[in-house]
Amino acid sequence: GQQVMQIPQYQHVQEGEDFTTYCNSSTTLSNIQWYKQRPGGHPVFLIQLVKSGEVKKQKRLTFQFGEAKKNSSLHITATQTTDVGTYFCAVTYERSYNTDKLIFGTGTRLQVFP
Amino acid sequence: DVKVTQSSRYLVKRTGEKVFLECVQDMDHENMFWYRQDPGLGLRLIYFSYDVKMKEKGDIPEGYSVSREKKERFSLILESASTNQTSMYLCASSFPGETYEQYFGPGTRLTVT
């Protein structure tokens, strides 16, 4: 099936440092969603991007959708210990016969040291 | 608030046993999903359902079946559990259409010995 690559797999940062995770597809995407999963928890929806080049912000989190709609990034400014968790992108593809189905990336696990 | 509940947080079963995992949502969502989550592999879709009695295979349906007799309830069945089905199982629900986010249950960690 279609694959969504997410990098890096792990990231350890000092509290206050920035963090970025990238989501890449070889096929044009229809839209992309981002989820956060805290340790021991379940994925929780963060945001959705639909338009080419779209940028959305949520406090210290900035989400971008590439111009070609084949990649996306999540950037966290000045990380805090509450940012610890695994961040997943989840996509739907253009010209997919079923747009209700999300394809999840492999996730980036973020660890923040105080 | 949307609530998705799963019947067990932890489950230990023996090889060859039939296993039922239950999921219930209270938001009248048409779509329901079953995923398994394994380290380094992310979430992989096993089955999903877009209406009562309707189901569609996901990316890894082998060894699993599902049942959706009522809109709010979606069951995952392991006909004959095997050790390679040891995993975290997550249920999710959503409204139809790509613009709707999925709401996840707390997960069931299944161990098959």
For the record, the structure tokens of A20 come out as 């970025």
Taking the Cβ of residue B106 and every Cβ of chain A, the question of whether any pair is shorter than 8 Å is answered with yes
Say whether A42 and B56 touch across the interface (CB within 8 A): no
* Mutant choice from A102, A106, A108, A109 vs B, greatest count of B C-beta within 10 A: A102
Q: A92 — contact with chain B (CB < 8 Å)?
A: yes
Which one is predicted more confidently, A78 or A95? A78
Q: How confident is the model at residue A43 (pLDDT cuts 50, 70, 90)?
A: very high
Per-residue confidence (pLDDT) for residue B4, from 0 to 100 = 97
Tell me if A101 and B58 make a contact (CB, 8 A cut-off): yes
Chain A partners within 8 Å of B105 (Cβ) = 42
Residue with tokens 């000092």: A14
Tokens representing residue A45 in the block: 């929806």
Q: Which residue has the tokens 């084949």?
A: A70
Residue A79 is given by DSSP the state -
The pLDDT-based confidence of A96 (bands split at 50, 70, 90) is low
Shortest CA distance to B61 belongs to which of B46, B74, B75, B49?
B46
CB A60 within 8 A of CB A76: yes
Q: Which pLDDT tens digit goes with each residue over A100-110?
A: 789 999 999 99
**Pick from B19, B31, B73: nearest CA to B56:** B31
| Separation in Å, CA of B45 to nearest CA in chain A | 8
CB-CB neighbors (< 8 A) of A105 in chain B: 42
Structure-token match 């329901």, residue found: B32
Contact A109, A40 (CB under 8 A): no
Using a 10 angstrom Cβ sphere, with 0-12 exposed, 13-18 middle and 19 or more buried, the burial of residue A1 is exposed
CA distance A4 to A101: 14
Share of chain B above pLDDT 70, in %: 97
